[in-house]
Structures are given as C-alpha cells and as structure tokens.
Amino acid sequence: MALAEAGARGRLLRWPRVLLFGDSITEYSFQENGWGAYLAERLVRKCDVVNRGISGYNTRWAKLVLPRLITESTSADSIVAVTIFFGANDSALKELNPKQHVPLEEYAANLKSMVQYLKSVDITADRIILITPPPLQESAWEKACLAKGDKLNRCNATTGQYAQACVQVARECGTDVLDLWTLMQKNQDFSSYLSDGLHLSTKGNSFVAAQLWSRLENKLSALPSLLPYWRDVDHTNPEASLL
C-alpha cells in the first residue's frame, strides 16, 4: 500500500499535549534528570510534553506570549494540562534588577490574566497547575551574582510573598497549585534542592517531578497508549491494526 493511500485511509494521529510554560526553571527542565524530562518519560506513548520555558522571562512578558502559543482554533483542544511556573524573575528586587522585576500586585494580576485566557479558549481550570517560585538560598545566589559583577538582586522573604500571591490566585481561579516555596522549606536545609541558590539541582528536579506527577497522574491516567503494543499488531495484516 502506498504511503499516500495509507494516510488517506487512516485517521490522523494526534498526540495530546502537556504544555510547560515558565522561565528558565522550565526551560532547563529537559536537561539530564530534569523534571520535564521525567514527565515526558512517564507519558511517552500517551501524550507529548512540550517545553515552552523562556529563560529570564517574567509574567509581564509571558502574558503577551501565551496567546501566541495556544489558540482555540489550532491547539487548545489537544492540551490535557498546562503548568504556569513564573515568579523567580518577577520577585527580583526593583532597585537592583528593574528589567525583570514586576510589582507583586501586577504579578498576581498577570497570573490571573493567563488563567482567564486559557479558560477563554476552553482549557478548563482542572487542567491548569500554577507553580510558585522555589525558595531562594541567598548566600549561594549572592555568590552567583558576584561572579557576574552584580549584587545580590533577590531575597527569599520577597520570593515568599510572590509564592503566597500565586497560591491565592490559584484559590481564586479554582486551579491546582504546587507551592514549592513552602514545600521545599519543610526540609530545614533546602539548599540541596538548588544548584546555585535559584535554579534546581538534581535533587530539586526530582522533588518537582514527584510533586507534579502526583497531581498529573490522576488527570492523565485514563489516557490510552497510542498505537497498539507491538505483540498485538497482526503481522499478516498490519493495516487492520494500524489504520
């Protein structure tokens, strides 16, 4: 059978998608042992995990980008989950990092705006997970800043305010939330979760992966495996199994 004929006979295979939207902590999540790579491995043959992490971005910029990533007419119906993971840059101190800083009230409004946009393209609240920024280990991040000729431009207490705002937005919008800032600090020495005081270490990636999977597993467990297991393909008439 010619490929064109096979394509005409078979239904278009559309993999459902999980969209990871965030800053560098999301962008780096497909690195070795990253939390995004873990999700992709767990969901292979069930759905695609799409990394849309954009290093250095804040919610002011992200809310402008989101409608360019998802539109009702082209893609929203195939999305089974979306993570929105911002705040590490928004919470930068204004006087030391004015380019990335977003005021707390605007940060909350931007998150709410993104959730409302997703709802407007029929991505329901139960498919949205907000993720707070992780805690900041100030001495390690100060070291990283000094190496670049900068001063310490973030502090953990401020990051915590943004995390609380994220949790509040999730409560108001009816979405799930992963409060990393609080959960990671239940372990008194949370520095082991971070590679440089801000970004995730291998242990931090494992922690995020486990926490997210516990939220996604129930949402996605009913998804079927796409295409039959190879032993179940009729080798004498593969068209019957595969088209």
Q: Which of 16, 45, 20, 17 shows the shortest CA–CA distance to 35?
A: 20
Pick the catalytic residue: 24, 78, 192, 206? 24
Q: Is 101 a catalytic residue?
A: no
Token representation of residue 192: 């082991």
Catalytic residue among 101, 179, 195, 199: 199
Instruction: Provide the β-strand partners of residue 200.
Output: 194
Query: How many CA within 13 A on the CB side of residue 4?
Result: 0
Rounded Cα gap, residues 102 and 64, in angstroms: 14
Place of tokens 């994220």: 166
For 224, residues 6+ apart whose C-beta sits below 8 A from its C-beta are 46
Query: Cβ atoms within 10 A of the Cβ of 225, count?
Result: 9
| 78 assigned to active site | no
- Helix/strand/coil for 176: strand
Cα(47)–Cα(162) distance, rounded to whole angstroms? 31
Q: Which residue has the tokens 């329901």?
A: 124
Helix and strand numbers, DSSP H then E, in the chain: 10, 5
| Known catalytic membership, residue 234 | no
DSSP string covering 92-135, please?
S-TTT-TTT---HHHHHHHHHHHHHHHHHTT--GGGEEEEPPPP
- Name the catalytic one among 75, 196, 201, 206: 196
Residues designated catalytic? 24, 196, 199
